[in-house]
Structure 1
Amino acid sequence: MVIDQRPDDQVYSVDDPIVEIRDAAVTYDEGDSYVLDHVSLDLERGEILGIVGESGSGKSMLASSLLDAVPSPGRLTGEITYYPEDDDPVDVLGLGNDELRSLRWADISMVFQGAMNSFNPTMDLRTHFEETLRAHDADLDAGLERAAELLRDLHLEPERVLGSYPHELSGGMQQRALIALSLVLEPDVLVMDEPTAALDLLMQRSIQLLLADLQEKYTLTMVFITHDLPLVAGLADRMAIMYAFRLVEIGETRDIVENPGHPYTRALLNSTPNLDAPLSEMRPIEGQSPAPVTMPSGCTYHPRCPLATEECRTEVPDYHEVGAGHGSACYHWQESADEVPLVYEESLDNVVGGEGR
């Protein structure tokens, strides 16, 4: 990976991108309020990318932008390009409604938080699969065979699940059935927006392991969006950290966990519950992230940052290279390790030790 210098931003480009995002912004209030602030990002074919940040940081808006599915009256600008393996590049934001409907399930699919809200409670699961297949003119018999295989991959019994209504399945079963539904048209990219947030820790861990198996078996590219850094650290190849609608750090997972350059990333690690560390060592992040209508000037993290200087308050920082393929949008990334030490580095290493990809 290299840093691609651009007039307005810097992008960590990859060797074989499947999606390129350039200067993506989502605004409301006639352009006065940003809920995604000029994000540029490459997604490598076949990788799992974790996108991590607090609630309200813009993670879900970035996910919706990948499918040009930003809720009205939001306005999405920038460039999003999808690269099929054996076809011409696709300008996602230039597609018509029919083309978008096809792209959203057949090429780039999404799993939302809360499976119950994604299913029609009056339809059994078989009908959900059948309607999805018919909507895309897919072969019904072959599609249902694939659905059964996917359900078995997710440790579900196909006939029982397909014959059930959503309320007859547990939360974990619903979420796994939704993952199978999202993959039934064989998309290249699977975007998951907090897919395990409503589940207990054991089920979260189980689904994480199943997703790793699915990614390998079907050669998927995955985007896993979460506020839970340890959860995604055991799954993702790379992580991107978001704060106040901006991308503030990106790099390989082990580099992010072991040598974070941005003070926010370090504070996020220190505030995360960890079974290997005493509760007394947790460090909550002081203050609150800004709302779209109260965005501070300069680095948006400066009101909460112990390293903030006048430069931070007035100028938006570029990315600085912390390591190979690892960048941090912080003027003081070199001092951050001393000023914001990780309070239990050994236990954080266990997050990716032996399990990271």
Structure 2
Amino acid sequence: MSNTDTIVEVSNLDVTFQMDRGQSHVVRDVNLDVARNETLGIIGESGSGKSMLASSFLNAVIDPGVSTGKVMYHPEDGAPVSVLELSDSELDRFRWEEVAMVFQGAMSSFNPVTKIRTQFRETLQDHGRDIPAGMDRAHELLESVYLDPDRILDSYAHELSGGMKQRALIALSLLLEPDLLVLDEPTAALDLLMQRSIVTLLDELQTEYDLTLVFITHDLPLLTTLADRIAVMYAFNLTEIGTTDELLYNASHPYTRALLDATPDLNVPVDEMSIIKGSKPDPVDRISGCSYSPRCPIADDRCRSEEPPMMTVRDAHESACFYYDDAPDAVPISAAPDERPSSGRTTATEGRDN
């Protein structure tokens, strides 16, 4: 992928925390390109490193975490930006004007003792923006997420429902016109109907505002209705990357296939539903060879001693497995993707004031 097509280029990224019992690796040697105007989904079990990877896009890993490697941001105009080398003042501008992030806890993202209007105005003021023009944009954005601007702006966060707060937070994240929006489990605390509404809303906003989206989640069915590509994360590294259809129909890593098989399916009896056996690796204790080998049904001595690199399965499809050709037979999936209940696309107006 050429840099003209790439908005973010991650190379050899590590995120570590120093703990009493040793150094904890929560992201290990990740290499990933994000294409301009795509929606990239990043999925994996809880604790796999997804949120730390997302935070690295903005150099926002909390202390005492340390990020090393490279995160290069490529604006449409101008020189590439080395995100991990930005000063504090440069980061303050970069994080809202180029890349913005939406976290799963909308309540914790808003000041509970000030009205939403104040928080929009302060964001504009802190970045030296024209406040009347910026508040006009705030009204436009709130209408775009199917909210009544005056009602929302004159409310405190606790006066809004979970879905309303999350949509208001999405509007706030777009206030300074970033090109990339990173969403870390943005629907985790919402009911199913509102989750679907948010996903459809994001699809609309991407088109309307010419956005690139990185969507972090553990909810695979929800992601398949939105993402152009999916990157699968296990044990703090990426194990498979491909288009959404490729991963749904031709997954080539045993972990991805096990993850697909563990997805809740209304067509399969409860006693026949699969789980991924075994335990996730400890971030302090690095496993020799493939990190998935202790749980993998086709792992052999090579897997336990040698770490597999990302290998091309097909165009735009890579898998970090020596035996990607054998994975479909070794790890069958109980129901084909088209037989599983889809998360579906709902209109973004469903539950618009809930």
Q: TM-score, normalised by structure 2?
A: 0.93
Query: Is the contact made by 1:105 and 1:187 (CA closer than 8 Å) also made in structure 2?
Result: yes
Opposite residue 130 of structure 1, the aligned amino acid is R
Instruction: Give the corresponding residue for 1:34.
Output: 25
Q: Does 1:312 align with 2:303?
A: yes
Q: Alpha-carbon deviation of 1:353?
A: 9.1
Match of 1:303 in 2: 294
Instruction: Give the distance between the partners of 1:350 and 1:15, measured in 2 at CA.
Output: 38
Q: Is the partner of 2:41 in helix, strand or coil? A: strand
Write out aligned runs for 1:229-244 (5 A): 229-244=220-235
Query: Which deviations, in whole Å up to 9, do the C-alpha atoms of 1:198-224 show, x marking residues without a partner?
Result: 101110000000000000100100000
Residue 257 (structure 1) aligns with: 248
- Contact preservation (8 Å) 1:22, 1:39: yes
Question: Which consecutive unaligned segments of at least 5 residues does structure 1 have?
Answer: 2-12
- 1:51/1:240 contact within 8 Å kept: yes
Aligned with residue 154 of structure 2, among 145, 149, 163: 163
**Paired residue total:** 344
Structure 2 residue aligned with 1:71: 62
SS of equivalent to 1:294: coil
Distance in structure 2 (CA, Å) of the matches to 1:265 and 1:14: 28
Distance 1:273 1:127 in 2: 42
Is contact 1:257-1:348 (8 Å) kept?
A: no
User: Is contact 1:298-1:313 (8 Å) kept?
Assistant: yes
Residue of structure 1 equivalent to 2:71:
80
Structure 1 counterpart SS, 2:276 = coil
Give the SS at the match of 1:322. Answer: strand
Q: TM-score, normalised by structure 1?
A: 0.93
The secondary structure found in structure 1 opposite 2:59 is coil
Alignment of 1:127-276 (within 5 A): 127-276=118-267
Q: Answer whether contact 1:273 1:279 (CA < 8 A) is retained.
A: no
Separation in structure 1 between the aligned mates of residue 184 and residue 240 of structure 2, nearest angstrom: 19
1:276 positional shift: 4.6
| Residues 241 and 248 in structure 1, CA contact (< 8 A), matched pair in contact too | yes
Residue 53 of structure 1 corresponds to 44
Q: 2:7 aligns with which of 18, 30, 35?
A: 18
Paired with 1:87 and 1:281, the residues of 2 have a C-alpha distance of: 55
Q: Give CA-to-partner distance per residue, 1:15-38, whole Å, 9 cap, x none.
A: 600111100101122883211001
Paired AA for residue 341 in structure 1: P
Question: In 2, Cα distance between the equivalents of 1:283 and 1:322?
Answer: 26
Query: Which range is displaced more, 138-147 or 183-192?
Result: 138-147
- With over 3 angstroms needed to count, the CA separation of the structure-2 counterparts of 1:52 and 1:346, relative to structure 1, is closer
Deviations 1:8-65 (A, max 9, x none): xxxxx77600111100101122883211001010010000000000000000000111
Secondary structure of the structure 1 residue equivalent to 2:117: helix
Structure 1 Cα separation of the partners of residues 286 and 299 of structure 2? 16
CA contact (8 A) 1:23 1:79 kept: yes
1:110 has 2:101 as partner: yes
CA distance in 2, matches of 1:122, 1:353: 37
Structure 2: 5+ residue stretches without partners: 347-354
What's the CA shift for 1:281?
3.9
1:330 aligns with 2:342: no
Change (3 A) 1:348 1:218: farther
CA distance in 2, matches of 1:186, 1:346: 36
After superposition, the C-alpha distances for 1:106-155 in whole angstroms (9 at most, x for unaligned) are 10000011101111100111011011111111111111111111111111
Runs of 4+ in 1 over 4 A off after TM superposition: 352-355
Pick closer, same or farther for the CA change 1:281–1:146 going to 2, 3 Å: farther
**Whole-angstrom CA distance in 1 between matches of 2:330 and 2:230:** 23
Q: Secondary structure at the match of 2:223?
A: helix
Shift of 1:346: 4.5
| Distance in structure 2 (CA, Å) of the matches to 1:129 and 1:15 | 33
Task: Name whichever of 276-285 and 74-83 sits farther off.
Answer: 276-285
**Cα displacement (A) at 1:294:** 2.5
Considering only aligned residues, what root-mean-square deviation do their CA atoms show, in Å?
1.8
Distance 1:268 1:186 in 2: 36
